[in-house]
Structure 1
Amino acid sequence: MSLTSEPGDRLAAFGNQLVDVHIWLREELSRLREDVDSFLSGDSGRPRNLRAHCLAFCTALTRHHTAEDQGVFPVLAETFPALRPVLDELARDHEQVEEALLRLQGLLDGLPTGDADSGLDRDPAEVRRVRGELDGLIALVESHFTYEEKKLVTALNELGTPLPDDFRLSDLTDR
């Protein structure tokens, strides 16, 4: 997927790039939910693949938020000072998302190994904890993305300053 063609087009489309990244991350989170549900229901016995998928998603989301915190938000704060309270709130969201990602990764890392035919017993309390943590992460991320898009897309599309490469979808998916 090509998100840019000319430098001027890239600058004019930062807000659109944000939406594209969020769409991709939402799709990845949906796939992660499917993987978790499949494993926890006993339909899949691939905890290593599940852990790897979670780690890949967590890494991509963390890279995206780091690019925002260290590159995008300072540019926006300087260019649009009225956005500073919004940017501060979004940065706090990033911390909450990171904490939720770490909790989910920890729960998934603690899952027993085995395959679907091994008779692996899935503790109902553990299943509820994993699903609850994932549901909380999904709600937090969706709320964060929606608020960020509502508050920042227009300002991002007005920027004439280059932003970090990690802000582009291709840079998240190519690693």
Structure 2
Amino acid sequence: MHPIGSPAGRLAAVGNQMIELHLWLSAELARLRASLGDTTPDARPSRDLRAHCLTFCAALGRHHTGEDGGAFRLLADQVPELRPVIDNLIVDHEVVAGILARVEELLDDATEVPAAQLRAELDGLAALLESHFRYEEKRLVAALNALTGRPGTAEDLLGLTAPPRPAG
């Protein structure tokens, strides 16, 4: 085990931090979907929902951009046999980016967009992310946790750091 303050200590648990980040993103998406509430044909997203949705989309985008330029690049160099897995994950990131762009387009004119249409996009995103996160965790966590002796932080490699869990 590495001292917590050492560069190796910071990076030795990147895979575990990725799982924490995935759990947080999944919980935020579930909370976002639950906040849609009324999806009758005339229902429209509220301003608060729009802000929450845009914040979530930005966080998820930063996470995937961070992985592509950080963790994935490092793993491709250190563990070349993971390159096909990484390529698959990058393709998933592109699909997710397309969904996020559609969600943002819908929210650009939230007064005209039914909440049901937004819910359909978010439901599709949730299904894709559930599969994507599990695949990524199954294939990469051990390799990420094996990285030692590298300076930097998990945020450098993952694009975000999951907020601390509330006490209690």
Same fold (TM over 0.5): yes
1:39/1:47 contact within 8 Å kept: no
1:23 aligned onto 2:23: yes
Structure 1 match to 2:92: 93
Structure 2 match to 1:51: 50
Q: TM-score, normalised by structure 1?
A: 0.79
Structure 1 stretches of 5 or more lacking a match? 114-122
1:129 aligned onto 2:117: yes
Structure 2 match to 1:152: 140
Q: CA deviation at 1:46?
A: 6.1
Structure 1 match to 2:62: 63
Relative to structure 1, the CA distance from residue 163 to residue 18 in structure 2 (aligned partners, 3 Å threshold; closer, same or farther) is: farther
Q: CA deviation at 1:11?
A: 1.8
Q: CA deviation at 1:128?
A: 3.9
Deviations 1:70-112 (A, max 9, x none): 1111100011000000001101110100110111222233222
Structure 2 stretches of 5 or more lacking a match? none
Alpha-carbon RMSD across the aligned residues, in angstroms, is 2.6
Relative to structure 1, the CA distance from residue 162 to residue 73 in structure 2 (aligned partners, 3 Å threshold; closer, same or farther) is: farther
Q: Which has the higher helix share?
A: 1
Q: In the alignment, residue 21 of structure 2 is paired with which amino acid?
A: V
Mean CA deviation greater in 136-145 or 101-110: 101-110
Relative to structure 1, the CA distance from residue 168 to residue 92 in structure 2 (aligned partners, 3 Å threshold; closer, same or farther) is: closer
Q: CA deviation at 1:45?
A: 6.9
Q: TM-score, normalised by structure 2?
A: 0.82
Count residues in correspondence.
157
Identity over aligned residues, as a percent? Answer: 49
Q: CA deviation at 1:127?
A: 4.3
Q: In the alignment, residue 100 of structure 1 is paired with which amino acid?
A: I
Q: In the alignment, residue 26 of structure 1 is paired with which amino acid?
A: S
Structure 2 match to 1:13: 13
